[in-house]
A and B are shown apart, each in its own frame.
Chain A
Amino acid sequence: MSESKSLSLDDVKHVAKLARLWLDDAHLRRLGGQLELILKYVDQMEKVDVTGVEPMAHALPLHNVFREDVVEPSLTTEQVLANAPDRDGPFFKVPKILGADEDSAG
């Protein structure tokens, strides 16, 4: 990855699909241009020699923070559904899932 990435409209559409963001072509082009500039800026990290450097996902020396597998009080069904845009009894109502088309991501 030694030269700055140039993003085609298809590249940007692909990312928008991954991110589940519905955007029209004009918007995609505008965002694509801005993304290119930002990616060009962050590319300067390539100048640094990172041989032998471990990645650090997290600043703390914490690992595997677990609790006992015991049922504790939680939200009620009503609380969980209280903000639902569309519900049917104890269910969130949504359009069809099976047969959903990847291209519907926009």
Chain B
Amino acid sequence: MLAFDTLIAARDAIRAKDISSTELTRQALIRIDQIDKGIFAFNSTWHTRALERARDVDNGRVTGPLAGVPIAIKDNLCTSTGTTTCSSRILRDFKAPYDATIVLKLEAAGAIIVGKTNLDEFAMGSSTENSAFHTTKNPWDPTRVPGGSSGGSAAALAAGMCCASIGSDTGGSIRQPASLCGVVGLKPTYGLVSRYGLIAFASSLDQIGPFGWKVADVAQQLQVIAGHDPKDSTSLTNDVPDYLAMLEQPIKGLRIGIAREYSLPSGIDPQVQSAVDQAVAKYRDMGATIVDVSLPHTEYGIAAYYVIAPCEASSNLARYDGIHYGHRTSEPVKDIIELVSRSRGEGFGEEVKRRIMIGAYALSSGYYDAYYLRALKMRTLIKRDFDDAFRKCDVILSPTAPTPAFKAGEKTGDPLQMYLCDVFTVTCNIAGIAGISLPCGFTSGPQPLPIGMQLLGPTFSEAMLFRVARMYEASTNWHLRRPVIAGAAA
């Protein structure tokens, strides 16, 4: 294990000179070398650069709120170091000519990036099984998936290969892997974090967000990466609050909303339901009022998402044409259209092709009104549901995922089965509101698996969400548990 495996503890220890950044970074890199061949969390590692930057921190040349702390970055974020692959054959050797804004912000704050993590190809999936390179293994049980699409980032943290990590969330891709890997993960309000340099999947849904073992670690990362960016025209200009100042202060008169529609999906694992029910009881013991709310259009969330996201993806992925970058076919071609079509046919995986096809169909002449336009109207209704509910409660609590981590291969036979994992997470992206997942239990049995609960809050409610999450975390011990990794030096 790393001497300090949580972000703020590591940062403070480095500041106090209890450990050097070089030593902690070395430990992280050694651990990656030792165990990642059994976990496959990383697509690439930055040994040389990480140690150079660690030296810079130790020499006092680089300072900041994250100074010296090893952190992993999802491989759909452009970095001028190394490759940015989106776990796709079509970008296997791509070297981005610039850094994503959040990468610059993290490095300016002193963070030590140790590598780029695995994901479902182009962020499309819920298990990393759609990665063109490997399926990441869940550190709690290597026969199971870590969730997705940010499965690599969640697993890298859970397996102790870094102190924090960054993912992206379009329909649940931070929150669901956080839940399946027993860590905290946040999808910020849409527009709070710059998307400049995030390789686009669905532009109106994508958001970058942090993973951490503790709520405070996630809040600290958000403090660094949030804020207006003139290079992202969907970036908000609101002032960023201080997320840490009031974190330890419980919310008096807290109203927790439970949506009656969330108890309807029949696939919820009874242990998940039980853990979440117990969390609700804990909040009640702390003085919170539990309020019954309704989100009437919940059942259409996945349908709306699996129209909107593929439509936007079909447009965003049109740029992968074998001409400017990325895979180009070596088959003989008679003209440019064949070049483009063959390159894309060879370079994209199955799920990506599926979503591009759905999107192209739903946007095509004759079908645009029935599918895309209708889905955008559903979006208005879903947003309205949340606006109405948040008049009656401060946060909405639910399971993050209907089940704990499932076995690799269990859901790959039927795309729809995989899509239904997202039932609690997609509406948050559709409405642009904030959502956080935190651990609330473990399954019983010989190989316990983490269970996560989700808190949803209105736009810009991150400071409040963190406090509500911290109230629960402060009275529980889930965040202290660590998986036992085979082949690790403890």
Contact = CB atoms under 8 A, between A and B. Distances in A.
Interface of A: 1, 12, 14-16, 18-23, 31, 34-35, 37-39, 41-46, 48, 50, 53-60, 62, 65, 67, 75, 79-80, 82-86, 92, 94-97, 99-102, 104-106
Nearest to B337: A104
Contact of B357 (A15, A97, A101, A104): A15
18 contacts: A19-B344, A19-B357, A19-B360, A21-B341, A31-B354, A31-B357, A44-B299, A45-B375, A54-B377, A54-B380, A55-B376, A56-B376, A60-B190, A80-B324, A83-B324, A83-B326, A104-B341, A106-B341
Given A48-B297, A57-B376, A35 B358 contact: yes
B358 A50 contact: no
Contact of B370 (A1, A21, A65): A1
Nearest to B383: A56
Contacts of B270: none
A97 B341 contact: no
B191 A62 contact: yes
A105 B371 CA distance: 24
B241 interface: no
B326 A38 contact: no
Given A22-B345, A34-B415, A100 B300 contact: no
Nearest to A103: B337
Contacts of A59: 190-191, 204, 383, 430-433, 459
**Most chain B C-beta atoms within 10 Å of own C-beta, residue among A22, A62, A95, A97:** A22
Most chain B CB inside 10 Å of its own CB: which residue of A42, A57, A67, A79:
A42
A20 B344 CA distance: 7
A83 B300 contact: no
Interface in B339-372: 339-342, 344-346, 348, 353-354, 356-361, 364, 370-371
B158 to A, nearest CB: 30
B94 A83 contact: yes
A85 B322 contact: yes
Nearest to A94: B336
Nearest to B307: A42
Given A97-B335, A102-B337, A75 B97 contact: yes
Q: Which of A58, A59, A86 has the most CB of B within 10 A?
A: A59
Given A59-B432, A99-B335, A31 B353 contact: yes
B83 to A, nearest CB: 10
A16 B234 contact: no
Contacts of A105: 337-338, 340-341
A81 B356 CA distance: 27
A92 B337 contact: no
A35 B318 CA distance: 19
Contacts of A53: 377, 380-381
Given A45-B375, A56-B377, 8 more contacts: A21-B344, A23-B353, A31-B354, A38-B419, A41-B302, A60-B191, A85-B326, A100-B337
